[in-house]
Amino acid sequence: MLSNQLYLERNYKMGIDEILSNLNEQQKQAVFTTEGFVRVIAGAGSGKTRALTARYAYLVEELGVSPANILCITFTNKAAREMKIRLRRMLGDGIDTSFVSTLHSFCTRVLREDIGRLFYPESFVVLDNTDQKNILEEVYEELDIKMDTATFEFMIDQIRYEKNLGTYMDYVCVPGNEIGGVEPKDLQQKVIFRYMEKQKKYFGLDFFDLINFTIYLFKKHEDILQKWQNRLYYVMVDEFQDITAKEFKFIRTLTDLHQNLFTVGDPDQNIYEWRGSRMEVLLDFEKNLRSYYDDDGTTYFPGHPIPKLKADFKTIFLNQNYRSTPEILAASNDLISKNHNRIEKELYTQNGSGAAVEHYHGKNDADEIGYIAGKIKDHIESGGKYSDCVVLYRSAYISRFIEQGFLKHNIPYTVYGGVGFYERREIKDVLCYLRLVEHGDDLSFKRVVNVPRRKMGKNKLAFIRAQAEADNAALYDTLKKHIDNPIFKGSGAKEFVRIIESMKEYAENAQVSELLQKLLMETGYEQYIRESGEMDRLDNVSELARSIVTLETEYGEPLTLSAFLQDVSLHRDIEKDDSKDCVKIMTSHIAKGLEFHTVIIAGLSEKIFPSARALEERREDALEEERRLCYVAMTRAKKNLYMTESEGFGFRGYIKTPSRFLFDIDNKYITRIGHISHDIMEEQALQTVIRKPSVIQILPVGTNVKHKAFGEGVIEEVDELTRTYIIRFLTGTKPIRFEYQGLSQVF
């Protein structure tokens, strides 16, 4: 039975008046503007999540809209979970929050209903990065390719390029286990198409596929598109500044019928242009939407009629910051004001005054880490905790001197962003066992059939593969069918099949956490880890079990094995154990969306932050993005903000100088500690010179061009939104940036 306290927590429901009472006037405006196209520009710490969840609650509680008709898109699993928890606190534990999800999760849900129309089973497997590499390993072996020819990472990038074009859908979504109508022109294409063939055989979709398959499903079957357009009366999108052009077109089409799109974002916090986000979508929100509805040509979904624009546009600003002191905001505002590609706004706060923002210039790494350690110890001596503090940096390699320094100064710490929890060997093993129970897929079978050892060597596995190909069946089903074959005598094959079959039966009525515990015992995997003596691995498995129990409590609806595996596949992150009192160390990218009492930004040297590599590749665009990243790091701070750098030499041998971002902030907003010599300042001035890019002449469709790596090609498409050419080379079609210097016109 539930305790009285837990019962009350689960059944408590806030009234709408109570919900609205916690909002300022701008937030209320966002809540009450329920119809049309709404753009909310929400500054750092301005309570955007509070406004977003309040709007959802207002639609449900005050206007009577069913949650089944509201799609709320977030960009991380963590954000979706937190939003679900907030909504249940507002609306009661019985609220259906299944449409509060990431875009990939939503696409997965769409596909679970109708992917059969594309000749895939509804029980398809979502593949993660390790699965991709396992498939490539098979392909490399079959084609006798060595890693020095092309690494997995390189080939995954090429697969991503191919899938970004979307043209592969026509030869993947055909009946049978093979892809059709493709003649690879070279070894690279042969690898890509063989990879896709194996994907299809395993009924696996990777991250790139989820949105592409959904788009293709809508293109080919307008009745399915209309079903979802009818269903989704209201669409809400968080972190809209991080949206890609493809995602925007997709969401835009979902809102065709009812034309109620609510977006929340901050152009100043766009830090993912390097992986395809297009903040122009947020900056030119009305223009991009109007151009779609006014277009009389082809749409993103050919054959789909373009509806008449009937909705109004509105922009709302959330400028009040609830997180930081006035001192931190003043320095942050001054830094970001140096960017040109933004929407002008000035954050303010009613919080009380605090400590000055400090810039510390050290003579070397040891000096810099000594200052950082001193600030943390001062915080502890004043009654604070280590966990109140975070050290942020631009690139992962910077953590080395921080970790060494913390060990020297006896400061406990945890590094975020190392080897992902779900990428650890023991966790992959356990998840593959669960996946085998649910899906019976080949990748999972191959990983665990001999873990722990069951005398299932190469000959036995080769026999299974040969029979599977002959029977056109999955490996596990083949083993089950031929289990009495003499080749398996003396092995653990029969016991393995017995265990998996019993787990399948047990899973029908058991919770995921219960299934996991039984599976660990039955398979002998827990004992296998104990005997290895690697107790850290056992702790990781225990943490997985604990996280499942937590997820079962917070999920909002009954957690099925399928839902859990989907959640894990889509989101390969796990919360660190915040129960330990230790300083957090992480990159500035990882820190986005978080807040801390005390923030220390370390390694603020030119060529490190901003990144020299980024500047070399994208120049002015990269400089503005790097400045936005620094702004994001600064605005994580609630009470204290320290920015540090030191003299010495960088890893490429250059002289380290203070980052230009430190001098973007006026002296009246920052206290500078440490003497910077005239020579260092002269060197800094030389390093910060960046050539203005020349005006780029956009080449038209049909232009013959030459790429320094891919050779000659023809421009087939010009996408001004993403500033990208789609060029057909002899080696295949590639997206190439307008700004790329290695492209020339052939006359």
Element (H, E) at 392: strand 389-393
Contact by Cβ (8 Å): 70, 233: yes
Inter-residue contact 713 to 698 (CB < 8 Å):
no
Query: For residue 383, what are the contacts with CB-CB under 8 A and spacing of at least 6?
Result: none
Residue with structure tokens 């990218």? 589
What whole-number distance in Å separates Cα of residue 417 and Cα of residue 151? 23
3-state helix, strand, coil in the chain (%, to 5): 50, 15, 35
Provide the strand spans (E) within 553-636: 583-587, 596-601
Partners of 320 in the beta sheet? Answer: 348
| Three-class SS of 29-62 | HHHHCCCCEEEEEECCCCCHHHHHHHHHHHHHHH
Looking up tokens 């390719």 gives 145
Nearest Cα to Cα of residue 366 among 47, 647, 595:
647
With tokens 């665990």, the residue in question is 448
Are residues 350 and 321 in contact, defined by beta-carbon separation less than 8 angstroms?
no
Cα 646–Cα 649–Cα 653 angle in degrees, nearest 5: 155
- Beta-carbon count within 10 A of 150 CB: 17
Secondary structure class of 195 (helix, strand, coil): helix
Long-range contacts of the stretch 156-160 (C-beta < 8 A, 24+):
156/129, 156/132, 158/188, 158/191, 158/192, 159/132, 159/192, 159/195, 159/208, 160/208
What single string gives the DSSP state of each residue in 672-700? Answer: EES---HHHHHHHHHHT--PPPPPPPPPP
Contact 127/595 with Cβ under 8 angstroms? no
Question: How many angstroms separate the CA atoms of 39 and 237, rounded?
Answer: 10
Q: Name the packing angle between helices 425-438 and 561-570 (round to 10°).
A: 140
Measured distance CA(2)–CA(22) in Å, rounded: 30
CA dihedral 554, 91, 95, 548 (to 10 degrees): 0
**Distance from C-alpha of 139 to C-alpha of 157, rounded to nearest angstrom:** 16
Query: Residue 220: CA atoms inside 13 Å, Cβ hemisphere, count?
Result: 16
Given a contact cutoff of 8 angstroms between Cβ atoms, the answer to whether 274 and 306 are in contact is no
Amino acid in position 477: D
- Beta-carbon contacts of 411 under 8 Å, excluding residues fewer than 6 positions away, are 373, 376, 377, 386, 583
Cis peptide before 121 (omega within 30 of 0): no
Question: What letter represents residue 712's amino acid?
Answer: E
Catalytic residue IDs: 48-49, 238-239, 269, 636
The CA-atom distances, in angstroms, between 502 and each of 85, 106, 418, 499, 519 are 35, 32, 36, 5, 10
CB atoms within 10 A of CB 720: 9
1 token code pair: 């039975």
Give the max Cα distance, the chain.
Answer: 83
By the 8 A CB rule, do 346 and 355 touch? Answer: no
Query: What are the residues facing 707 on neighbouring strands?
Result: 711, 743
- Residue 308 sits at φ, ψ, to 5 deg, of -75, 140
Q: What tokens were used for 394? A: 């631009």
